[in-house]
Structure 1
Amino acid sequence: MDSNRYSRQLLFHPIQQAGQDKLQNSSVLVVGVGALGTVICNHLVRAGIGKIRIIDRDYVELSNLQRQMLFDEEDVKKASPKAIAAKNKLEKINGTVEIEAIVGNVTADNVEELMNGIDVVLDGTDNLSTRYILNDGCFKHQIPFSYGGVVSSRGMNAFFLPEKTPCLRCLIPGSSNDGQTCDSVGVIAPAVDMVSSLQVTETFKYLTGNENALRNTLRTFDIWFNHQYDIKLSKPKTDCPTCQKKEYPALKRGMEDIETVLCGRNSVQIHQKTSLNLTKWNDKLLPVSSVKQTPFLLKAEFEQGITLVLFSDGRVLVQGTEDIVIARSWYDRYIGS
């Protein structure tokens, strides 16, 4: 180990050499490499985490650059998958960290495999359904879950420890959704940085053996209107199907719903096939649309304002509508069953 690289971190008394060694022997999973995920990964890699597994289903767009710190205009031009673009940047920051990048969707079918060999799962997602899958997988396999959420100038964070704290489902029931997303009401980058920094700090405490320093609260804040609250993580709900009944409902549904509206993004994701040959679909769609293919995805733009984005793992984004019926019509017309 190059001690000079981590010299300032080694001087921090709660970490020192023993803590640094623990970080370098740790493996984490970061789900979602967008606003939260890029900041999380940046901190983890610079701090010398041993291995980081990242997964993201999306590609880089111009609107991402305002807050997603690992991407640049070249990634936009290439329509680079976020997981791959993040890996490329992170390896330039710290070549000693093992980085595994996966372009794909987290589902009940693959989440347990993704968590194999992982010490902490960090949440960089933007939807409650995926967070429930992560929450249930973590509590089933006794893996800490570093939760974070941000929208507008507001953020929240908690670090959930199986058998020691309640779980996400105890604090945020399925009906808790005000419909606001970064794509509908916006977000400012400093709020993103604060949430992800809190997520990583609690993760560092746990991985370096400083569990006594864990905050053990759900922290919420609004940095624009100067509000901050801490809610103590109390006893779990006695009827919680995850951490008390151990039913793990989010893991029992099999494959994710075939059709998923990406709220605020004017897109519908349809995941009906297990794989797509992008070269084959390039040839099929070229006569009827403007096609751009990369090694990871294919974009087919139609004159009617609809774009189909095909991924090799079988997913298709129908961009230009949030109406499932319309999206399904376009999918069936050009992709089929």
Structure 2
Amino acid sequence: MTDRYSRQIMFKHIGEMGQEKIGQKHVLIIGCGALGSANAENLVRAGIGKLTIIDRDYVEITNLQRQNLFTEKDCDEQLPKVIAAKKRLEEINSSVCIVPHVLDANFETLCPIIERSSIDLIIDATDNFDTRFLINDISLKYNIPWIMGSCVGSMGMSFTILPGQTPCLQCLLDSLPVSGATCDSVGIVSPAVQMVTAFQSTEALKILVEDYYSLRTTLVTFDLWSNYFQTIRVERAKKEHCPTCGKQPSYPYLQYDSQTKTELLCGRNTVQIRTGKKIPIDRLAKRLKKVGQLRVNPYLLSIDYQSYRAVIFRDGRVLIHGTNSKEIAKKIYHQLIG
């Protein structure tokens, strides 16, 4: 297997010792869309020992423009992203242990995975700041470094957070160029994804080979279309009384009141409802076959109902496409599931 990674081993900052370390490490990627799938592919090609991937969604046709792991066949079969990703990644490197989780990343789902696994690094590939703040609290509580990344339009940003050393996401609130734009509202070009992925994957390799001295200490932001690039020094942003990384942390996003039970999904005219209990898909399919057009696979049930489409996952999540109203979404949910 040395020949497989020979060009990476020749790179003096990795070498044989670094390659051996990479093969012993476990990375958790939260989100398997554009950033998640690209980072996953980079790490699998680099020879990561174990990769755990979490995502709540399934492959859609609009994903194919920028999410490199997926195909039209995955879209036709409505495969969950992590299942499609696992299949493709194992074709790339069969020696990597890949663990997929078709579930929503929240306190109840993430903490058990963290606690029963020895995770060396978390990579943020999510599409919302609620989940990022959750990752931030979990990272600091369990002393796991994490790499933030986001992109929209032709813009992107990234920052590496080391518990006890760097400012955390809570500390950076005043420094982040946050807007309300999403991929679904203003679009995105794939080079922006590739740029953020390059920053994240490179920082990941530095952490995996334990070359902490080479880690970038600045927040990087860019706009490829406007030819803009900036690095921002943020070391002074670290706050002594930060609720996540301060002297007396309370980890606010790990509290029950901070957990979202019903949420809008990234400008997609879709509401997600989390039930907290598994749904018997097979039995439900029999009951709903006369209600609307059904599509069923081992992981989910999709039904066209009135002017909406409901996608029901076994883990208890339901996506109601066609509305931004939580009230309407709940009404459709109760009409279909009870």
- CA shift, 1:253, in A, is 1.7
SS in 2 for 1:298: strand
For residues 200-241 of structure 1, the C-alpha deviation after alignment (integer angstroms, 9 at most, x for no partner) is 101111111211111111100001101111111313122310
Distance 2:161 2:258 in 1: 25
1:241 alignment partner in structure 2: 243
Name the amino acid aligned to 1:159: T
Alignment gaps of 5+ in structure 2: none
Distance 1:24 1:57 in 2: 27
1:165 alignment partner in structure 2: 166
Contact 1:269 1:317 survives alignment (8 Å): yes
Alignment gaps of 5+ in structure 1: none
Distance 1:296 1:196 in 2: 28
Name the amino acid aligned to 2:255: K
Contact 1:111 1:133 survives alignment (8 Å): no
Distance 1:47 1:175 in 2: 31
For residues 106-163 of structure 1, the C-alpha deviation after alignment (integer angstroms, 9 at most, x for no partner) is 1112222222310000011000011111110001111001110000000000110001
Distance 1:285 1:174 in 2: 49
Relative to its length, the structure with more helix (as a share) is 2
Contact 1:26 1:119 survives alignment (8 Å): yes
Distance 2:174 2:135 in 1: 15
Compare 308-317 and 264-273 and name the one that shifted more: 264-273
1:100 alignment partner in structure 2: 99
1:252 alignment partner in structure 2: 255
Name the amino acid aligned to 1:289: G
Q: 1:305 to 1:173 in 2, by over 3 A?
A: farther
Identity %: 43
Q: Which residues of 2 match residues 325-336 of structure 1 at below 5 A?
A: 325-336=327-338
Contact 1:39 1:197 survives alignment (8 Å): no
- CA shift, 1:173, in A, is 6.1
Distance 2:176 2:93 in 1: 41
2:134 alignment partner in structure 1: 133
Contact 1:259 1:324 survives alignment (8 Å): yes
Contact 1:108 1:255 survives alignment (8 Å): no
SS in 1 for 2:202: helix
For residues 238-297 of structure 1, the C-alpha deviation after alignment (integer angstroms, 9 at most, x for no partner) is 231000031111111278322111131110001124100110111111111100100111
Name the amino acid aligned to 1:182: C
1:39 alignment partner in structure 2: 38
Distance 1:273 1:128 in 2: 22
Compare 230-239 and 56-65 and name the one that shifted more: 230-239
SS in 2 for 1:18: helix
1:271 aligns with 2:274: yes
Name the amino acid aligned to 1:168: L
Compare 102-111 and 14-23 and name the one that shifted more: 102-111
Distance 2:100 2:174 in 1: 31
1:291 alignment partner in structure 2: 294
Q: 1:221 to 1:175 in 2, by over 3 A?
A: closer
Distance 2:294 2:26 in 1: 39
1:195 alignment partner in structure 2: 196
Contact 1:28 1:122 survives alignment (8 Å): yes
Which of 324, 327, 334 is residue 326 of structure 2 equivalent to?
324
Name the amino acid aligned to 2:120: D
SS in 1 for 2:59: coil
Compare 254-263 and 80-89 and name the one that shifted more: 254-263
Distance 1:32 1:173 in 2: 25
Q: Which residues of 2 match residues 53-64 of structure 1 at below 5 A?
A: 53-64=52-63
TM-score by length of 1: 0.96
1:212 alignment partner in structure 2: 213
Distance 2:201 2:137 in 1: 21
Name the amino acid aligned to 1:45: V
1:71 aligns with 2:84: no
Distance 1:318 1:255 in 2: 22
Distance 1:301 1:102 in 2: 26
1:22 alignment partner in structure 2: 21
TM-score by length of 2: 0.96
- CA shift, 1:334, in A, is 1.6
Contact 1:107 1:255 survives alignment (8 Å): no
